[in-house]
Amino acid sequence: MSWDALFSLQGHGPYILGAYGVTFVLMGLEVLVLWRRARARRLASRDQPGNTREPQ
């Protein structure tokens, strides 16, 4: 498939680009959710009593 066919508004090009777009958005959303969850766990473990580690 040529670049012209991929980016034209006819045929299967828009569907292929849409599928890739949705895939990349979902992957980005998953990375964001995992990062926020890891950050929250790190902050929660820092606040527990008995934790003698210094914050970084």
Q: Which stretch, 9-13, 16-20, 24-28, 49-53, has highest mean pLDDT? A: 24-28
Q: Tell me whether residue 56 is in a domain.
A: no
Domain-located, residue 24: yes
Residue 53 lies in a domain: no
Task: Look at residue 13 and tell me if it is in a domain.
Answer: yes
Structural domain of residue 30, as residue ranges?
Answer: 3-46
Residue 52: inside a domain, yes or no? no
Q: Count how many domains the chain has.
A: 1
Asked if residue 54 belongs to a domain, the reply is no
- Tell which wins on pLDDT, 2 or 24: 24
Task: List pLDDT tens digits, range 23-56.
Answer: 999 999 999 999 999 999 988 887 777 666 655 5
Residue 33 lies in a domain: yes
In a domain, 51, yes or no: no
Report how far residue 46's alpha carbon sits from residue 5's, in angstroms, rounded to the nearest whole number: 54
